[in-house]
């Protein structure tokens, strides 16, 4: 279920949203230190995390699903946002080098179709980062952020989904170890929570980040033999007896001496005695 785009924009203007932009943006930047002369697409509501790449990327496009709605992005600049159907993106094949999916896979009603469209518009060897709520974390159970309204994933589940959509997982990371809260005092200590949580309870992070690469060819397992039964049709004439054993060779023609006629030249046929 997609949240309305106005609610998401309002959330990222709040202190909690600004804190998320800083913490999550740092983890994304660790995967992609720079995207100079690269073409970047953001799917879902990825605008707050694409902003640092505006000045260095060749192109930045914020593709916002129709069920969510669209707002102009970036603020104060030339609009680079588009209203799209996430299962039929209006871009040519191999149009982008990088894709950032935030509030996308977890909110989509058909994440397989969405990821296959991302695969299509990415160039060969293109990279994608997917951000989504951790099934074990507390943020997936809280409604104070957009990450509490989508479907949470475990690491194994998202890796299996990416593999099914022909993506090869390159690396994973966690973020948001702070408990879900709007307390300004706790928000000020968010960086300390991140350092402690990364060491003490990494499995219970609020968010998962997965970087994947577009695969051109699907791998084929080797070392296994698969037998396929082939059936040959047998046609039996109607009325033929079945279950009888027919001896090999042509059938013998036997004539009875009592009834076999004998023909002699120059004489009338007579019966043999």
Q: Is the pLDDT of residue 254 over 90?
A: no
pLDDT single digits (tens) 35-92: 999 999 999 999 999 999 999 999 999 999 999 999 999 988 899 999 999 999 999 9
> What is the side-by-side order of every strand in the sheet holding 207-214?
81-84, 59-65, 39-44, 96-102, 122-133, 207-214, 167-175
- So where are the chain's domains? 5-214
pLDDT single digits (tens) 3-31: 899 999 999 999 999 999 999 999 999 99
5's tokens? 């785009």
Average confidence score pLDDT of the chain: 85
Q: Answer whether CATH 3.40.50.2300 is correct for domain 5-214.
A: no
**Mean of pLDDT values over 203-207:** 93
Longest CA pairwise span in the chain (Å): 134
| In contact, 89 and 63? CB cutoff 8 Å | yes
pLDDT single digits (tens) 208-239: 999 999 998 755 555 555 555 655 555 555 55
What are the strands, taking DSSP E only, across 57-162?
59-65, 81-84, 96-102, 122-133
**Mean of pLDDT values over 173-197:** 92
């Amino acid at each position: 279920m997609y949240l309305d785009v106005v609610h998401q924009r309002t959330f990222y203007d709040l202190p909690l949203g600004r804190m998320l932009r800083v913490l999550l943006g740092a983890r994304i930047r660790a995967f992609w230190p720079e995207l100079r002369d690269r073409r970047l697409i953001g799917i879902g509501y990825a605008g707050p995390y694409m902003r640092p790449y505006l000045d260095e990327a060749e192109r930045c496009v914020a593709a916002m699903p129709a069920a969510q709605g669209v707002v102009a992005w970036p603020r104060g600049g030339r609009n680079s946002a588009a209203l799209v159907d996430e299962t039929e993106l209006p871009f040519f094949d191999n149009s982008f080098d990088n894709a950032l999916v935030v509030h996308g896979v977890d909110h989509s009603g058909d994440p397989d179709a969405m990821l296959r469209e991302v695969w299509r518009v990415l160039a060969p060897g293109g990279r994608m980062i997917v951000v989504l709520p951790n099934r074990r974390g507390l943020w997936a159970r809280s409604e104070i952020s957009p990450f509490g309204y989508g479907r949470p994933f475990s690491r194994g589940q998202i890796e299996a989904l990416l593999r099914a959509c022909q993506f090869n997982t390159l690396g994973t990371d966690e973020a948001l170890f702070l408990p879900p809260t709007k307390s300004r005092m706790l928000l000020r200590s968010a960086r300390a929570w991140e350092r402690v949580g990364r060491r003490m309870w990494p499995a219970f992070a609020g968010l998962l980040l997965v970087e994947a690469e577009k695969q051109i060819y699907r791998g084929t397992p080797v070392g296994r033999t698969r037998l396929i039964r082939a059936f040959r049709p047998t046609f039996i004439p109607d009325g033929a007896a079945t279950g009888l054993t027919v001896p090999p060779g042509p059938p013998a023609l036997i004539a009875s001496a009592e009834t076999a006629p004998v023909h002699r030249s120059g004489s009338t046929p007579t019966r043999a005695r």
